[in-house]
């Protein structure tokens, strides 16, 4: 999923996502899906505020039918009861599952919706398991997928969740009015990127023939092409069930009809929201969700700095408060680091997102010059301006460590502070040892200072550097234009599931280059495109993962991007809570939280 630009000058990360499936979001970081936490190789920076970096990397395996039975294994020490307060800067832009794609919205819908499949996190192990379905799906050819629903699945009004409801929920995502959600299933089912020309949604009374529901508990998908990772795509909140008679259309966005463990009691847009238990939700059918608190109270509209101060003070009900996505900035890092009390209630884990600097391969056509840019680039200096180790962990790869098949490698072996001498030597072998590089950045303090650091570092290697500020609001639009006039610009990406098939094709398939798309290095290499086609046609997930990792390395030989950091989610929570950690979405994960 794309990454969003931070709206403010602070280091807080916003995770808005733009509407296009391939859009990227910028500065801040963003949203996601992949799996558990992990420690990326961190070459420098000894002092994380909390000892988070020790979790082992873990691929997300497909669980068995036995894994898919509920209930979710209990969190040690957890007990039921109490109310959790969640403090956020802004209201969730969407709660209607069909429109949910940003990390914040997805996190909220974890409490309110269920899907055919979902991720079960136990300790450091994450598995994809059947959620509404009895398993992760069966297919003989990667095109036709069959699911069976469990018994005892109920909505908030006590009615039964049926296969027809699942189908209707997916049909709704075709409806043009319900914009903002991901588009994977729509494209895969119809085989077209402009899927609404084939099917325009259920509101006009049409039926989507590619999904069959022979009975109330069986659902069969007929895809247009092979997608071995189909079970992962189904785990996205956008593909949740909804009974046709409960489709309140646009009103559903504020008040979704719950299939999950909680339901919306009241929602005062932009101010607050109250959730209480869905009495009909049966934990024995649900292998991925705990529902320890009796209720959730959301408060929207405060500044990040105020939210952090409230979490530090933890007065009254704030004792049981947390935040899904507000991070501490570098200004609080030192205070948190020196206080054992605060350190004890800090989430500090790597998210599935990646941030990197795109090199415009249409303007900087010589791979040697691109390699020199990578070698001279001040990765550590720019990270320090955004908070240093609390901002993220350095990476040298395209794929993030939470992606299945991820293999660590370091093709160029340069220090994080850059190696201007090495870059200079490389530039000397090209036709122009002093190329001009236009660096575009968003116009706020941290990035202005980053431009100073980048300019100085690249100049040391012999580059002429032109810096161009773009207003934060326009940054993504400008840098995502195919005919942009910049050579180097920041970008980011979060996979929608822990597979490289939601990373490499959107970022490096030359045929997907469009304004507002994800391929902002504008790399269009026929060999890479052909390899993407070959891998996507594989039916074996394991073989696919291995092939993606090899392609990752191959693409990096052309240096279309300068890999930078895998951002961290570093957030405080109240001392009255337990079980707070990040989930596969990258935000603080609500489903294991309990009130002590």
Q: What is the binding site for another protein (CB under 8 A)?
A: 9-10, 45-47, 305, 330-335, 378, 381, 384-385, 387-390, 436, 438, 443-446, 448-449, 451-453, 455-456, 466-469, 471, 485-486
Q: Could you tell me the smallest distance in angstroms from the CB atom of residue 332 to another protein?
A: 6
Q: Which of 450, 475, 520, 415 is nearest to 512 (CA)?
A: 520
Among residues 451 and 538, whose Cβ is nearest to another protein? Answer: 451
Cis peptide before 71 (omega within 30 of 0): yes
* Residue 206 or 471 with smaller CB distance to another protein: 471
Quote the distance between the C-alpha of residue 265 and its chain's center.
Answer: 28
Cβ proximity of 526 and 28 under 8 Å: no
Tell me whether residue 450 or residue 491 sits nearer to another protein (CB atom): 450
What is the smallest separation between the CB atom of 443 and another protein, expressed in angstroms?
A: 6
DSSP annotation string for 310-349:
HHHH--GGGGGEE-SSPPP-HHHHHHHHT-HHHHTTEEEE
Minimum CB distance to another protein smaller for 381 or for 544: 381
Give min distance, CB of 524 to another protein, in A.
21
Residue closer to another protein by CB (options 306, 540) is 306
Which residue, 157 or 306, is less far from another protein as judged by CB? 306
Write down the least CB distance from residue 27 to another protein, Å: 15
Q: Which is nearer to another protein, 417 or 539 (CB)?
A: 417
> Which candidate, 95, 267, 119, places its Cα nearest to that of 181?
95
CB of 389 to another protein, least distance (A): 6
Minimum distance of another protein from residue 301's CB (angstroms): 21
The answer to whether 174 touches 186, Cβ cutoff 8 Å, is yes
Comparing CA positions, the residue from 587, 17, 7, 553 lying closest to residue 350 is 587
Shortest gap between Cβ of 513 and another protein (angstroms)? 19
Q: Which residues contact 596 (CB under 8 A, 6 or more apart)?
A: 79, 576, 577, 578
295-300 and 125-130 as β-strands: parallel, antiparallel, unpaired?
Answer: unpaired
Closest separation between CB of residue 240 and another protein, Å? 40
For another protein, the closer CB: 74 or 305: 305
What is the smallest separation between the CB atom of 45 and another protein, expressed in angstroms?
5
CB of 334 to another protein, least distance (A): 5
Residue written as token pair 């669980």? 63
Q: How far is the CB of 422 from another protein (least distance, A)?
A: 18
For residues 405 and 399, is the Cβ–Cβ distance under 8 A?
A: yes
Residue 4 tokens, joined: 């969003």
278: nearest Cα among 255, 261, 299, 292: 261
What are the residues whose beta carbons fall under 8 Å from the beta carbon of 73, sequence distance 6 or more?
122
For residue 381, which of 415, 344, 347, 408 has the smallest C-alpha distance? 415
Q: How far is the CB of 491 from another protein (least distance, A)?
A: 18
- Closer Cβ to another protein, 2 or 387, answer by number: 387
Helix (H) / strand (E) element for 392: namely: strand 392-394
Sign of CA dihedral 229, 235, 239, 242: positive
Burial of 500 per CB tally in 10 Å (0-12, 13-18, 19+)? buried
Strands 321-322 and 83-88, by their bridges, are parallel
C-beta of 387 vs 574, nearer to another protein? 387
Written as six digits, the tokens of 513 are 């280059």
Counting other chains too, the contacts that 168-171 makes at CB distance below 8 Å and 24 or more residues apart are: 168/202, 168/241, 168/242, 168/243, 168/244, 168/247, 169/97, 169/98, 169/239, 169/240, 169/241, 169/242, 170/208, 170/211, 170/239, 171/199, 171/201, 171/202, 171/207, 171/208, 171/211
Residue (31 or 438) nearer to another protein, CB? 438
Minimum CB distance to another protein smaller for 411 or for 469? 469
Q: Quote the least distance from Cβ 88 to another protein, whole Å.
A: 21
State whether residue 202 is helix, strand or coil: helix
Nearer to another protein by C-beta: 373 or 541? 373
């Amino acid at each position: 999923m794309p990454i969003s630009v931070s709206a403010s000058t602070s280091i807080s990360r916003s995770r808005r996502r733009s509407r296009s499936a391939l859009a990227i979001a910028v500065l801040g970081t963003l949203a996601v899906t992949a799996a558990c936490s992990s420690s990326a190789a961190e070459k420098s920076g000894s002092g994380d505020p909390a000892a988070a970096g020790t979790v082992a990397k873990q691929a997300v395996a497909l669980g068995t039918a036995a894994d898919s039975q509920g209930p979710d294994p209990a969190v040690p020490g957890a007990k039921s009861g109490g109310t959790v307060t969640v403090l956020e800067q802004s209201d969730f832009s969407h709660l209607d599952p069909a429109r949910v794609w940003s990390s914040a919205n997805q996190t909220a819908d974890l409490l309110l919706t269920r899907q055919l499949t979902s991720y079960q996190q136990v300790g450091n192990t994450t598995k994809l398991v059947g959620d509404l379905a009895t398993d992760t799906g069966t297919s003989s050819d990667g095109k036709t997928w069959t699911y069976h629903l469990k018994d005892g699945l109920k909505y908030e009004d006590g009615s039964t969740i049926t296969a027809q409801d699942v189908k209707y929920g997916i049909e709704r995502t075709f409806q043009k009015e319900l914009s903002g959600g991901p588009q994977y299933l729509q494209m895969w089912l119809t085989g077209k990127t402009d899927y609404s020309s084939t099917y325009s949604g259920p509101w006009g009374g049409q039926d989507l023939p590619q999904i069959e529901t022979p009975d109330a508990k069986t659902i069969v998908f007929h895809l247009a092409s092979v997608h071995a990772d189909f079970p992962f795509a189904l785990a996205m909140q956008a593909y949740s069930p909804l009974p046709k008679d409960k489709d309140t259309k646009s009103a559903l966005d504020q008040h979704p009809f719950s299939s999950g463990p909680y339901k919306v009691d009241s929602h005062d847009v932009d101010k607050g929201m109250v959730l209480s238990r869905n009495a009909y939700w049966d934990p024995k059918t649900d292998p991925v969700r705990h529902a320890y608190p009796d209720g959730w109270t959301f408060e929207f509209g405060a500044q990040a700095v105020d939210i952090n101060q409230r979490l530090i003070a933890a007065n009254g009900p704030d004792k049981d408060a947390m935040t899904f996505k507000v991070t501490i900035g570098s200004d609080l890092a030192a205070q948190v680091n020196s206080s054992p009390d605060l350190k004890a209630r800090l989430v500090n884990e790597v998210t599935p997102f990646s941030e990197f600097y795109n090199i415009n391969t249409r303007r900087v056509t010589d791979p040697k010059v691109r390699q020199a840019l990578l070698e001279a680039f001040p990765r550590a200096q720019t990270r320090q301006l955004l908070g240093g180790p609390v901002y993220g962990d350095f990476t040298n790869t395209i794929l993030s460590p939470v992606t299945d098949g991820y293999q660590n490698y370091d093709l160029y072996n340069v220090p994080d502070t850059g190696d201007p001498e090495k870059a200079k030597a490389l530039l000397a072998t090209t036709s122009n040892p002093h190329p001009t590089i236009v660096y575009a950045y968003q116009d706020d303090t941290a990035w202005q200072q980053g431009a100073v650091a980048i300019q100085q570092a690249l100049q040391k290697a012999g580059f002429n550097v032109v810096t161009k500020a773009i207003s934060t609001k326009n940054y993504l639009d400008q840098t995502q234009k195919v005919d942009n006039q910049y050579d180097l610009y920041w970008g980011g990406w979060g996979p929608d599931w822990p597979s490289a098939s939601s990373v490499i094709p959107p970022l490096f398939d030359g045929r997907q280059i469009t304004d507002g798309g994800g391929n902002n290095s504008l790399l269009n290499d026929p060999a890479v495109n052909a390899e993407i086609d070959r891998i996507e046609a594989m039916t074996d997930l394991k073989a696919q993962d291995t092939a993606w990792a090899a392609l990752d390395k191959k693409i990096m030989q052309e240096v279309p991007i300068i890999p930078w950091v895998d951002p961290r989610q570093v957030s405080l929570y109240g001392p009255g809570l337990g079980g707070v950690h990040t989930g596969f979405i990258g935000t603080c994960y609500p489903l294991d939280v309990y009130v002590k």
